[in-house]
Amino acid sequence: MAMAEEMQSPLVLGAMMFGTTVDEQTSFALLDRFVERGGVWIDTADCYAFWASDSGRGGDSERLLGRWLAARPGVRDRVRIATKVGAEPIEPGSAPLRREGLSPKAVRAAFAGSLDRMGIDHVDLLWLHQEDRSTPIEQTVEALAGLPADRFGVSNHPTWLVERGRAHARAIGTRPFDALQLNATYLRPRPGTLPPGVVHRFGVLSDEQADYAAEHRMDLWAYTPLLSGAYDNPAKPIPEVYDHPGTTTRLKALDEVAAEAEATRGQVVLAWLLSRGIRPMLGGSKLGQLDSALDGVALKLSDDQLRRLTSADHSPWADPYAHP
């Protein structure tokens, strides 16, 4: 039986490095702790993590999740699984120029492989990992219609392409995309730049994407919300793409609210994202990181604290996630 709604944590556990740089024992411990503390959503992809695997191919994360699910009878009823297709290299070393893409044949084959590796018969959410201009989105949508997935979402796509896909799904009577997964955090990168780890030109949540999601009541998921630990780890400087005056004022507000809430910067960032209607994703490798993030999404900030965080840089785009 699924857990009661009030016990569920909104945090998503990102399993990207499970089975490669995060070993099996540690991965199992993280997954177990996540479920113990009310975690529900686990996110992976068929291509994870090809750049860190000995074979140069993805699939290690999904295989590890399959072993964990098999070793924990009944846990499948307590978690929701999301995976992605479209970014696996055609052969080792061919990324990013040669990847499997989103043709109907590729989507069906990739998804069948994902189900087999995880030992499950369906997923709760299937993502299109990144856009594929060589395949009309209508063909991809038609291929999705016959797959055993409860919901469909898109990651790293421009808004116009998302809308085109949703319109076609409605026209043929199938379920349209209802979720977006993009990079988002409290700080804003300089225009024309991409944060480290974001390799897709439409990968950073924009004002337009946020407004589109709010208008159509689509879920928003945020990857790398904690800047890989840079908010709280002095050994990890905040990336250079955030070096502008708006960051100075935002960090000042963040420090003030964190002190008032007796929380870390990262915990406040997670709480702020949730207040914007954005579900944060954690890809850490230590139990302490996971516990801190779970505490962060449970943190309740006052209306005044949220207002100060949002309006800190006094820019016309200070609140990109709010719906007018």
What would the pLDDT profile of 274-323 be if each residue is shown by its tens digit? 999 999 999 989 999 999 999 999 999 999 999 999 999 865 444 555 54
* Bridge partner list, 80: 41
**Structure-token pair, residue 96:** 């990013």
**Structure-token pair, residue 161:** 């392409």
Q: Which CATH architecture has domain 5-242+265-301?
A: Alpha-Beta Barrel (3.20)
Instruction: Output the pLDDT for position 226.
Output: 98
List the chain domain ranges. Answer: 5-242+265-301
Which of 263, 268, 125, 260 lies closest to 185, judged by CA?
Answer: 268
Residue with structure tokens 């043929």?
172
- Contacts of residue 85, defined as CB under 8 A and 6 or more positions apart, other chains included, come to 45, 46, 100, 102, 106, 107, 110, 111, 114, 126, 127, 128, 129
- Give the integer Cα–Cα distance in Å for 16 and 127: 14
- Give the integer Cα–Cα distance in Å for 195 and 237: 13
Dihedral, CA atoms, 304, 266, 184, 106, nearest 10 degrees?
-140
| H-helix or E-strand spanning residue 107 | helix 104-118
Q: How far apart are the first and last CA of the chain?
A: 38
What does the pLDDT look like over 96-120, one tens digit per residue? 778 899 999 999 999 999 999 999 9
Structural contact between residues 55 and 25, judged by C-beta atoms closer than 8 angstroms: no
Other Cβ atoms closer than 10 A to 32: 16
Pairing verdict, β 219-223 and 179-183:
parallel
Residue type, 263: A
For 128, list phi and psi in degrees, rounded to 5: -85, 120
Structural contact between residues 81 and 91, judged by C-beta atoms closer than 8 angstroms: no
What does the pLDDT look like over 263-273, one tens digit per residue? 999 999 999 99
* Bridge partner list, 282: 13
Instruction: Output the pLDDT for position 322.
Output: 54
pTM for the model: 0.94
Helix (H, G, I), strand (E, B) or coil at 79: coil
Helix (H, G, I), strand (E, B) or coil at 84: strand
Helix (H, G, I), strand (E, B) or coil at 133: coil
Instruction: Output the pLDDT for position 82.
Output: 98
- Give the integer Cα–Cα distance in Å for 92 and 189: 32
Structural contact between residues 229 and 184, judged by C-beta atoms closer than 8 angstroms: no
What does the pLDDT look like over 148-191, one tens digit per residue? 999 999 999 999 999 999 999 999 999 999 999 999 999 999 99
Burial of 324 (0-12, 13-18, 19+ CB in 10 A): exposed
**Structure-token pair, residue 202:** 């439409």
* DSSP designation for 4: P
What does the pLDDT look like over 205-237, one tens digit per residue? 999 999 999 999 999 999 999 999 999 999 999
Structural contact between residues 281 and 14, judged by C-beta atoms closer than 8 angstroms: yes
- Give the integer Cα–Cα distance in Å for 288 and 128: 31
Within a 13 Å sphere around the CA of 123, how many CA atoms are in the beta-carbon half?
31
What does the pLDDT look like over 25-48, one tens digit per residue? 999 999 999 999 999 999 999 999
